[in-house]
Structure 1
Amino acid sequence: MSNTRYNITIHTADEYLAGTDSNIFLKLYGPLGESREVRLNPLMKGNFFERNDIDRATIEVPESLGDIYKVDVRSDCMYAGAGWRLDYIKVQRQPTEKGEAQPPESHFPCKEWIDNKRVHTYTVSSGLPISSMLEETEQSYDSGARICVPAHQSTTYTDNISVEVGYALTEITAFKISTNTQLSVQRDFNGSDKMPSLQAALQFALRTERSNSGQMPYMEANTRTVECNVTLTNNSDEEKVYAIYINRQKRIHTITMGDYCFKLPEYLNQRFDGVRELENANV
C-alpha cells in the first residue's frame, strides 16, 4: 500500500503576541491508526506561525489512518515569549485510490494559548461526518455443550455455561464508503497494535452520538453464566445426543466516521433456549 498524505491547515489567532518561533509538533489520530509526532516547522515555507497567519503543510504516513478525528499539539517553547495563540487546525486526507471522492476535512477549533510544553489534545467539531445507527436482533446459537441420554433412560442436566456480553471487537466488519472497499479488520486489526486506535475511534463516535456526558463506552466484553436446567427422556433403543442452545440479544452499531463505515456487534442479555437433538451423535 502506498503512503497516504494529509493536508494540514493551521491558523494563528489575530491577537497581540499570538505568533511564535517555537517548534510545533503534531500527531494525528484516525480509526485505522495514529501517526508519529511530526515537527511541522521544516514542512512550512516562509515566516510561519505569525499573527493571523494561515500556514499549510503535508504530512505523509506509511498507511492510511482513515479520516482524522483527534490531534495532539505540542510546543517546545523555545526562545523568550514563546507563547502561541492557536486558533484552529484543519486536516484532510488526500485521495488514495483512483476515482475516490474528495475526503472530508476535519475541523478542530482550538482557541487556546499554548505556552507550555505539555500535549494539547483537540477533537473534531465539524467537517467529519460521524453517525451511528442501531439495529437490534435476537438469535439462537449452539453453545457447543452436549447432553448424552442412554437408551430407555432419563437424564437431568444442570450446568452454568459461560457466555460473553458486551462489544464484540473481534467481529467488527468495515468498508470504505467512497470506494466500497472492504477492510480486513479480522486480519489487520485483531491482535495488532492497530486495534487500540480503532477501539478509541469507535468509543469516540459512540460517545458523540449518544450523549454529551463525556464518558467513554466500556468496550471490553464481560463473561457471564447462563443457567441451564433440563430433563430429557429417551424411550428409544439407541443413545441420543442433544445440543444446548443459547438465545442472545444482539445490537449492531453501524458507525460512520468520514469515509469509513464500521459494523460493531454488541451482545446483550443471554438465556437458555432449549435443546436440539443431533442426528449425528458424533457432532
Structure 2
Amino acid sequence: MDITFNHVSFTYQPGTPFAGTGLRDVNTTIHGGEYTAIVGHTGSGKSTLLQHLNALLKPTAGTVTIGDRVITPTTNNKHLRALRQQVGMVFQFPESQLFESTVQRDIAFGPENFGMAPDEAAALAAETARLVGLPDDLLTRSPFDLSGGQMRRVAIAGVLAMRPSVLVLDEPTAGLDPAGRRDLMALFARLHTEEGLTIVLVTHQMDDVANFAEHVLVMDGGALVREGTPREVFADAAWLRDHSLAQPTTTRMAGALAARGFHFDQPPLTLDELADALAPQLGGHTHE
C-alpha cells in the first residue's frame, strides 16, 4: 500500500493569531514494502508529516492518498477507522499508553474493540507477543511489572495485533539503553523482511538510517528538502550540517581516515562497508 502526498500543506490553528505552518507543499510517495526513514532537526515537520500517514491530521491544502483512500481537507472523520487499522502508529514512549491489568489483555484490547471474539483476541495476543520476543510466561503479568524495554514491546505488540500493513515509528528507541535500542531496531528489521511490513521510522539516529532504511526523507521548516537513498542523502556532509544533521558514525570515521591517506571509492555507510574498503589497504580479507 503506497502513501502519496500531493502538494500537501498544513497549518495549525488556521485563521487565528496563533496560526503556524506545519507542512509546506510536500510531494512524495512512501512505497508499500519499503523501509523509509524521516529525519530533520526538532521542529522540522517530521511529526506533523507522520500524523498525516493515517489521517490523524488532514491537509489544509493538497491531498494524501493512502492506498485507495484520498484524504482531503474536507474528509469526514467517521469513515477513517479501517484506515487507521491499516496504518499502525507507535508514538514516543508508547508504554505510557498501557492500561490493562495483564499483558495479554493490553495486546488484545484493540482487536476486541474492533469486534474480535475475546478468545480469538487472546490467542492473537499470545501470537503477537511471541512475534515481538515476549515469552508466554509474561502474558498473565501486569505490564507495569516489566522492564522498560519489555513494556515498550507490549505496546508495539498492541499495535501489531491490529494487523497493519504499515508500521509508523516515532523515535521508537528514545530512552532505551544501547542494548535495548539494538534489540528493538533488530525487531523492526525482522518485521520488515520476514513479515513484509512497510516501516516508516522517524529518528535522530543517523546510524539507524544508514543500517536499515532504503528511502530517506529530510524535513526542514515544514518542507521536504531532500529525498533519496541513504547513500544519496548522506553524501554531502556540508549540506547536512547546514540542516542541523550529521553523517552516520561510520561515514564520519571514513572521512577522518581519508584525511590520513586511506582511499574510499564511495563513503561507507555501515561497519561492514568500512571493513570491506579497508581490508585490501591493510592486507586483510573483505567482510563475508
Query: Shorter-chain TM-score: which interval?
Result: under 0.3
Structure with bigger gyration radius: 1
TM-score (norm 1): 0.24
TM-score (norm 2): 0.24
